[in-house]
Amino acid sequence: MAKLVYLMRHLRESGADRKLQQLILELAEASKYIAHTIKTGEMGYAGTSNLYGENQLALDLLADKIIKDRLDHTGLVSYMISEEMNSIVSSHENAMGPYSVCYDPLDGSSLIDTNLSIGTIVSIMPGKQVLQPGKNQAAALYFLYGPRTELVYTVGNGTHIFVLNDAYEYILQSEYVTLNGFGNIYAPGGLKQEWTASHTLFINHLEDEGYKLRYSGAFVADINQLLAKKGGIFTYPALKGKQEGKLRMVFELFPMAFIIEQAGGAASNGTLRILDLEASDFSQRSPIYIGSKKEVALAAEFLKRI
Ligand code: F6P
Ligand code: MN
């Protein structure tokens, strides 16, 4: 029988800094409480709304608090910002940690009542600056809460997938995951009537080529599907009257772009590589084309046409 590889051992052998290893392990511990809360939790509305005017479900707030409380006294983090917080917060260790963390505590939370998969996305930046170019990330990871709970991480040395077992340990499922040069699924976000003409042509092209529609409404689940199926594309494009699209750069796009690039894929805003961009504000959004290289390059071609 193949030997089980635990997350701690994998991290030890990853070449990552010891404190970065520790930070990822702390996040993995937090995710176990979130996974448990999702399984058993109260699902009513909390009655407040976040910065972006979305209703916050109680579970969003709980997931946010679980991560913040976990990281607060580790001495590993200077600053933290989450999609649910209105401002950057410093850790109680006098903002002395070697890393800063941006996270989306419960991505796809509008799906909670449907019992479809949702997730947590985390971007780890070196130092005290939260706003840095995406390519500066020290690590990126996500947790997927589905029929199985999974952890996918990169520290810049490949993308690796772990599954939470019955003993609540993350066990390696596959390491150095790679996307093929192209795939056969597409996940198109945004209302069709709000797409630009060139984006519509791109999606029509994929449909003509026989790509299968696979859009769940949770970014984490859709990205995980690209990794599992080894290719395809997810888009949330610029919309008419909403040029910046929907997804947030620091909480969602930077970490996923890092994970997908490390798996041999690509991520662009339609013109530029996502990881070359820098957000001027933590709430900044961007259009996104992410997945296997061929489809991402093809999107750029189509967007140039009109
Ligand atoms: O966090 C934003 C998010 O919920 C993503 O998880 C998801 O991909 C997207 O929004 C879904 O948006 P829409 O409901 O417009 O399809
Ligand atoms: Mn999200």
**pLDDT bucket at 93, cuts 50 / 70 / 90:** confident
Question: Does the beta carbon of 189 lie inside 6 Å of ligand 1?
Answer: yes
pLDDT of residue 221: 98
The answer for 12, left when phi > 0, alpha when psi is -120 to 50, beta otherwise, is alpha
pLDDT of residue 1: 65
**pLDDT bucket at 3, cuts 50 / 70 / 90:** confident
Question: Does the beta carbon of 219 lie inside 6 Å of ligand 1?
Answer: yes
% of residues, the chain, pLDDT over 70: 94
Give residue 69 CA to ligand 1 midpoint distance, Å.
26
Give residue 80 CA to ligand 1 midpoint distance, Å.
22
Best residue for ligand 1 mutational test, from 246, 250, 253, 290 (most atoms within 8 Å of Cβ)? 246
Ligand nearest to the CA of 223: 1
Residue 55 pLDDT more than 60? no
pLDDT by residue (tens digit) across 243-264?
A: 999 999 999 999 999 999 999 9
- Count, residues in the chain: 306
pLDDT by residue (tens digit) across 43-54?
A: 545 556 666 666
Amino acid, res. 45: Y
Strands (E), 53-148: 55-57, 77-82, 89-90, 99-107, 118-126, 139-145
Q: Mean pLDDT over residues 21-49, rounded?
A: 83
CB contact at 8 A, 198 and 185: no
Residue 40 pLDDT more than 90? no
Q: What are the angstrom distances between the C-alpha of 284 and each of 119, 220, 237, 288?
A: 20, 19, 14, 13
DSSP secondary structure of 20-58: HHHHHHHHHHHHHHHHHHHHH---SEEEEE-TTSPEEEH
Nearest atom, ligand 1, residue 234 CA: 8
24 burial level (CB within 10 Å; 0-12, 13-18, 19+): buried
pLDDT of residue 52: 62
Nearest atom, ligand 1, residue 191 CA: 15
Strands (E), 127-196: 139-145, 149-154, 160-164, 170-174, 185-188
- Residue with the smallest CA separation from ligand 1 atom 4 is 108
Which residues are bridge partners to 239 per DSSP? Answer: 195, 242
pLDDT of residue 169: 98
Residue linked to tokens 């999702």: 38
Q: Which two tokens stand for residue 234?
A: 């997810």
The chain-wide mean pLDDT, for the chain, equals 94
Give residue 184 CA to ligand 1 midpoint distance, Å.
21
Question: Does the beta carbon of 107 lie inside 6 Å of ligand 1?
Answer: yes
Question: Does the beta carbon of 105 lie inside 6 Å of ligand 1?
Answer: no
Nearest atom, ligand 1, residue 111 CA: 4
Of 190, 99, 173, 96, nearest to 136 by C-alpha is 99
Give residue 103 CA to ligand 2 midpoint distance, Å.
9
Lowest mean pLDDT among 1-5, 134-138, 295-299: 1-5
pLDDT of residue 280: 94
- Residue with the smallest CA separation from ligand 1 atom 15 is 190
Question: What is the C-alpha to C-alpha distance for residues 226 and 187, in angstroms, rounded to an integer?
Answer: 9
88 burial level (CB within 10 Å; 0-12, 13-18, 19+): middle
pTM of the predicted model as reported, rounded to 2 decimal places: 0.95
pLDDT by residue (tens digit) across 220-232?
A: 999 999 999 999 9
Question: Does the beta carbon of 217 lie inside 6 Å of ligand 1?
Answer: yes
Question: Does the beta carbon of 127 lie inside 6 Å of ligand 1?
Answer: no
Residue 57 pLDDT more than 60? no
Question: Does the beta carbon of 144 lie inside 6 Å of ligand 1?
Answer: no
pLDDT of residue 259: 99
142 burial level (CB within 10 Å; 0-12, 13-18, 19+): buried
Give residue 150 CA to ligand 2 midpoint distance, Å.
17
159 burial level (CB within 10 Å; 0-12, 13-18, 19+): buried
Question: What is the C-alpha to C-alpha distance for residues 297 and 306, in angstroms, rounded to an integer?
Answer: 16
Give residue 91 CA to ligand 1 midpoint distance, Å.
29
User: Domains in the chain, start-ordered, CATH in brackets?
Assistant: 7-174 (3.30.540.10), 185-303 (3.40.190.80)
State whether residue 124 is helix, strand or coil: strand
Torsion sign (Cα): 100, 291, 107, 303: positive
CB contact at 8 A, 39 and 53: no
Amino acid, res. 155: V
Best residue for ligand 1 mutational test, from 191, 195, 236, 244 (most atoms within 8 Å of Cβ)? 236
Q: What are the angstrom distances between the C-alpha of 144 and each of 28, 177, 202, 248?
A: 12, 16, 29, 18
pLDDT by residue (tens digit) across 164-200?
A: 999 999 999 999 999 999 999 999 999 999 999 999 9
198 φ, ψ (degrees, to nearest 5):
-70, -40
